[in-house]
Structure 1
Amino acid sequence: MRAVVFDFFGTLTDPGIEAGRRGAFAATAALLGVPAEPFCTAMSTSFGERITGRHGHTRPMLRAMAARCGAEPSEAQLDAAVAAHHAGSARLWAPRPGALETLALLRAAGFRIAVLSDCGAELCDGWPSTPYAPHVDATVFSWQEGCRKPDPRLYATAAQRLGVAARECWFVGDGGSREHQGARAAGMRPVLVTNAGYPGAWRFRDDPDTFVPELTIDHFPEVYRLIVPVKA
């Protein structure tokens, strides 16, 4: 095994922060002149569209979501809403305890590291300035690729960008988007992060896995102890 492919949200990021997503949406809605409840519903039901780029970058996406709520925000309102949405999104990227340290240890042990995420344009644009970027060799973002997990093309792209075969990759994630099914089908070895220390975190997974990997860990730093002894 030569590489590790990580999910992003709820795996590298702090699962406890996910509960703040609705509040971030509500703040954006207020700046668009849209009631929070229908806007949050529009954002939730459009998840698959948004993360595969169907609405483009943040500005046209927010315009489309406002239209679904019956609103036509002004350009000034959109300016403010885009800024707020980017800021709210960035707050959700905070690393979970031990995440950055574990990435650094894995790279020091000789592993190549990738992040494969179902995400919108905000993470694609903001990635270079995140604290994760210096520790990661390759990224595969659904918004840029035009498809979402468990599409096999995403896993193949991750392996290709890492310069390894899929069978040489671990896949580590919290189980949203049927990601472990996709990893297993691609030939990667999946590891489930249960997030046992975050009761209710499962509620924020979209399209959760029915397949449960043989290998599971409750706490993120266990990844290193699981993977490194079997590197050879």
Structure 2
Amino acid sequence: MRYPPTSTALSTRLSPVATHPVSDTPLGSPSASRALWPSAVILDLFGTLVVAPSTSERNTATTRFASVMCVSPAVAESALTGSWSARHDGQLRSTAEVAAHLVARCDAPVSNVTALELLLKELARDRLRADAPLLQILEELRLRGLRLAVVSDASPDIAEAWSLCDLASYFDATVFSCQLGAVKPAPQLFGTALESLGIAPEKALYVGDGGGDELAGAERAGMRAVRVDRRGGPHGLAFGETSWTGSSIARVEALPSLLSMWRER
């Protein structure tokens, strides 16, 4: 989840789940284990593939927004908080529209729109930087024959920066909330990913840090879900987080071990 509104149920604390490298609930018979072997893995983005922003990082970004718009940090923070839905649920369709919307909310000079658009693009590129070990794991998953997809609550600046980031080439499909017009746990997000991959829900594994009630949403869509500890640590920003008692792993890098364990049962 990216820059969540402070007016929603905000959580920077992980629910009580296992934090050892691989944990799994009982699978039952060997035939059940084979049936659980996925054809595809669908992953959350923020907090799963890239770090969730901390409060400090958000404050730094807010200060930069304020400077560009020539307003106080408090005004900029209010604009960011109040515009979260518009930026993520499809009301705003481009980075330019996001910049214009924020400038208008701050009652800042229209002449600042271009500079704010450039800042949004810069920050988006920074937010999508991935660790080399993660990229190696994604490559390993692909070599195992798995199709990969991303489902993310994302604003247009992230969607536009995606094709330029190192992560993009590893994924067969991407579903961004700002393009679909819905945020997690809306079923159309998961359904669109499954349709894009051309697979049935029971053949897909969903992996995420749990923000936006995504894990339960994935299960309602018919997928198996696994939780990862939030990338960037337990103080990374998230909202709409619910308790989770299902399978969990410490990081996405533990996925191959989990999948191998399932296959061997």
**What TM-score do the two structures reach when normalised by structure 1?**
0.90
Q: Deviations over 1:51-70 (max 9, x none)?
A: 11213322222222222223
Give the C-alpha shift of residue 142 in structure 1.
0.5
1:162-177 aligned within 5 A: 162-177=197-212
8 Å CA contact 2:92, 2:156 repeated in 1: no
Check 1:196–1:60 CA distance in 2 against 1; reply closer, same or farther (3 A cut): closer
Q: How far apart, in 1, do the equivalents of 2:133 and 2:95 lie?
A: 31
Matched, 1:20 2:57: yes
Give the C-alpha shift of residue 24 in structure 1.
2.2
Q: Deviations over 1:68-94 (max 9, x none)?
A: 2232331xx211111111101211112
Check 1:180–1:19 CA distance in 2 against 1; reply closer, same or farther (3 A cut): farther
Q: Which residue in the other structure is 1:161 paired with?
A: 196
Supply the AA of the counterpart residue of 2:204. C
8 Å CA contact 2:51, 2:232 repeated in 1: no
Check 1:88–1:196 CA distance in 2 against 1; reply closer, same or farther (3 A cut): closer
User: Secondary structure of 1:98's match?
Assistant: helix
Check 1:91–1:21 CA distance in 2 against 1; reply closer, same or farther (3 A cut): farther
User: Secondary structure of 1:171's match?
Assistant: strand
Q: Which residue in the other structure is 2:76 paired with?
A: 39
Q: Which residue in the other structure is 2:29 paired with?
A: none
Q: How far apart, in 2, do the equivalents of 1:138 and 1:18 lie?
A: 30
User: Secondary structure of 1:56's match?
Assistant: coil
Check 1:99–1:18 CA distance in 2 against 1; reply closer, same or farther (3 A cut): farther
Q: Which residue in the other structure is 2:150 paired with?
A: 115
Check 1:143–1:95 CA distance in 2 against 1; reply closer, same or farther (3 A cut): same
User: Secondary structure of 1:116's match?
Assistant: strand
Q: How far apart, in 2, do the equivalents of 1:164 and 1:185 lie?
A: 16
Q: How far apart, in 2, do the equivalents of 1:46 and 1:174 lie?
A: 23
Give the C-alpha shift of residue 206 in structure 1.
2.2
Q: Which residue in the other structure is 1:206 paired with?
A: 239
Q: Which residue in the other structure is 2:161 paired with?
A: 126
Give the C-alpha shift of residue 164 in structure 1.
0.5
1:84-95 aligned within 5 A: 84-95=119-130
Q: How far apart, in 1, do the equivalents of 2:59 and 2:123 lie?
A: 10
8 Å CA contact 1:17, 1:92 repeated in 2: no
Q: How far apart, in 2, do the equivalents of 1:197 and 1:124 lie?
A: 21
Q: Which residue in the other structure is 2:179 paired with?
A: 144
Gapped regions of structure 1 (runs ≥ 5): none
Q: How far apart, in 1, do the equivalents of 2:221 and 2:196 lie?
A: 15
Alignment match of 2:48 (pick from 11, 19, 40): 11
8 Å CA contact 1:25, 1:40 repeated in 2: yes
Q: Number of matched residues? A: 227
Q: How far apart, in 1, do the equivalents of 2:56 and 2:147 lie?
A: 31
User: Secondary structure of 2:145's match?
Assistant: coil
Supply the AA of the counterpart residue of 1:217. I
Q: How far apart, in 1, do the equivalents of 2:142 and 2:256 lie?
A: 10
Q: Which residue in the other structure is 1:62 paired with?
A: 99
- Identity among equivalent positions (%) equals 31
Instruction: Say what the alpha-carbon RMSD is for the aligned residues.
Output: 2.0
> Which stretch shifts more, 40-49 or 9-18?
9-18
Structure with a larger share of its residues in helix: 1
**What TM-score do the two structures reach when normalised by structure 2?**
0.79
Q: How far apart, in 1, do the equivalents of 2:139 and 2:56 lie?
A: 27
Give the C-alpha shift of residue 104 in structure 1.
0.6
> Which stretch shifts more, 25-34 or 145-154?
25-34
Q: How far apart, in 2, do the equivalents of 1:189 and 1:10 lie?
A: 19
Give the C-alpha shift of residue 158 in structure 1.
0.4
Alignment match of 1:193 (pick from 217, 228, 253): 228
Supply the AA of the counterpart residue of 2:43. F
Q: Which residue in the other structure is 1:82 paired with?
A: 117
Q: Deviations over 1:127-167 (max 9, x none)?
A: 11110111111101111101111010110110111111111
Gapped regions of structure 2 (runs ≥ 5): 1-37
